[in-house]
Amino acid sequence: MWKLRAASLIAALALCLAADAAEIPADLAQAVHDYDAAQVHGNRAELQRLVADDYTLVNSSGRIQSKAELIADYTTPGYKIEPFEILEPVEKAWSDGAVMGGVVNLRGTDGGKPFAVTLRFADIWAKRNGKWQVIYTHVSRPASE
């Protein structure tokens, strides 16, 4: 179960700013930072604000999840993720959209049981009514090297 939940939760994991963040608009960088913090702290209000109502997640098991399911996963009592670092960052932005992703080694607890999983993700962001929101996330397991 933790594997599914971890995959769901990473869904929307966005990235820490990379060295070439100058290309990323400041308001997007702030939204990404806020989204990361909301996931780590299970902040329902921030997740509501940052995740679009029409959000779709494809988790690492191939299961489709909605905004409500994503937020429920992040805010479930007994679920906690540790602060994380994005490896192999991907940052592509244009006037009203962006792809922010990479690889993350996610650690935490689920129902009091520790877990650790490595996932590759891509969050698609859209600027709607002047505000950035995550609209789609795809998560997969990185190929073994």
Residue 145 placed within a domain: no
Please give the pLDDT value at position 144: 72
Q: Does residue 58 lie within any of the structural domains?
A: yes
**Confidence band, pLDDT 50/70/90 cuts, at residue 87:** very high
C-alpha atoms less than 13 angstroms from C-alpha of 89 in its C-beta half-sphere: 18
- Give pLDDT tens digits for 18-63: 334 448 999 999 999 999 999 999 999 999 999 999 999 999 999 9
The tally of domains found in the chain comes to: 1
Task: Report the relative pairing of strands 131-140 and 51-58 from DSSP bridges.
Answer: parallel
pTM of the model: 0.82
Task: Report d(CA 99, CA 113) in Å as an integer.
Answer: 32
Q: For position 95, what pLDDT does the model report? A: 94
In a domain, 21, yes or no: yes
Handedness of CA 104, 110, 116, 120 (dihedral sign): negative
Domain holding 95: CATH number? 3.10.450.50
Average pLDDT over residues 97-121: 96
The 10 Å CB-count burial string (b at 16+, else e) for 21-45 is beebeeebbebbebbbebbbebbee
Percent with pLDDT over 70 in the chain? 84
Does the residue 132 lie in any domain?
Answer: yes
Expressed as residue numbers, the domain containing 14 is 2-140
